[in-house]
Amino acid sequence: MKLLSFVIPAYNEAQNLPVLHERITAIDWPALGFEIEIIIVDDHSTDGTPALLTGIRERDPRVKWLRFSRNFGSHVALAAGIEHARGDVISLLAADLQDPPEIVPALLERWQAGGLIIWAARDKVEGVSFSNRIFSRLYYRMMRWFALPQMPKEGADFLIFDRCVANALNQARERNTSILALIQWLGFQQEFVPYTKQSRATGRSKWTLSKKIKLVIDSLVGFSYAPIRLMSGLGVSIAMLGLLYAAILFVLRFVYLKPVEGWTSLICVVLVTSGIQLLMLGVLGEYLWRNFDETRGRPRYIVESRVGITELPPS
């Protein structure tokens, strides 16, 4: 028997977790040659999730969980679950029932055939607003252009991967990053299986606009130097435009003997260039902040309580 570890981040998903547990355990895993463990990382929920998990574990000791001391984010929760998983193969699964666990056996077939990372790549997404769909496509297209060209066009955040991938991932202890983009960055043999991402069962999505913006910044800064190159290109372009404008003014004044006027245009130029300079300083600040956050050595997460999971040795 191989051991399959489910890693499930959860924040205020008390309505969905019992249904997800039922759907996972309804699959005949021994017939497929697997034992399972279900690791739920409670990202400091406020809806009674700990009491719910206690009841589920009383009925099924395969369920284990960590509870964070505060909300650290879903990507940190995924990283924590992967660090504590013992499986030969690991599945990352959302708690909102948008990613059907019934697809995991099909992914395991690819793993048993030799695949190391098998993504369930979206070919259709149900129950998503137009604005969210546009944001998602822009994000994945930007990542394909500037950072990870192999990323699926419609995105992927549901996958299984081999123990050797988990070991490599645990060595990359970055704080401000996308754990899914980091898995793609690792390399290894990666395969994609199309599926339909279902609409959310109950509750509201925890992906607020501020979290989406942070994900975009973390992904770009963490996996691409394109912002730095863009700053250099803007600097050269503005400098060339400034020299050209100065040459035009020189010719007008000393060749055609025309007075140079245009305070309004001058103010516009000053405002535009000042705005670009501040934007560049902001981009540099993002890189510097992440460097500072890595070097001061704070833990990525703090565990408030754990059930069924032993504490990791100090790294």
Same domain, 35 and 172: yes
Same domain, 258 and 302: no
Same domain, 261 and 302: no
Residue ranges with strand state E in the chain: 2-10, 34-42, 63-68, 89-92, 117-125, 159-162, 190-197, 303-307
Same domain, 200 and 241: no
Residue 27 in any domain: the answer is yes
Same domain, 119 and 261: no
Tokens of 295: 């070097």
Average pLDDT, the chain: 80
Q: Which residues contact 132 (CB under 8 A, 6 or more apart)?
A: none
- Tens digits of per-residue pLDDT, 145-186? 766 767 766 667 788 999 999 999 888 877 777 788 888 888
- Mean pLDDT computed over 260-268: 65
Q: What is the span of the domain harbouring residue 273?
A: 226-295
At residue 199 the predicted structure's pLDDT band, cuts being 50, 70 and 90, is: low
Same domain, 71 and 200: yes
Taking the model in full, what pTM does it have?
Answer: 0.74
Same domain, 288 and 302: no
What pLDDT was estimated at residue 184?
83
- Tens digits of per-residue pLDDT, 40-89? 999 898 888 888 998 899 899 999 999 999 888 888 899 999 999 999 99
Residue 74 in any domain: the answer is yes
Tokens of 167: 């070991």
Helices of type H across 147-225: 163-171, 179-186, 209-223
Residue 221 in any domain: the answer is no
Q: Is 97 exposed, middle or buried (0-12, 13-18, 19+ CB in 10 A)?
A: buried
Same domain, 72 and 191: yes
- Tens digits of per-residue pLDDT, 279-292? 777 777 777 777 77
Same domain, 135 and 257: no
Residue 40 in any domain: the answer is yes
At residue 8 the predicted structure's pLDDT band, cuts being 50, 70 and 90, is: very high
Same domain, 160 and 23: yes
- Mean pLDDT computed over 194-201: 70
- Tens digits of per-residue pLDDT, 205-216? 666 667 767 777
What pLDDT was estimated at residue 82?
92
Same domain, 185 and 274: no
The bridge status of strand 159-162 relative to strand 117-125 is antiparallel
Same domain, 281 and 303: no
Residue 68 in any domain: the answer is yes
State the sign of the Cα–Cα–Cα–Cα dihedral 100, 102, 103, 108.
Answer: positive
Residue 10 in any domain: the answer is yes
What pLDDT was estimated at residue 152?
67
Q: Give me the number of domains the chain comprises.
A: 2
What pLDDT was estimated at residue 125?
66
Residue 213 in any domain: the answer is no
Q: Could you tell me the CATH number of the domain that includes residue 109?
A: 3.90.550.10
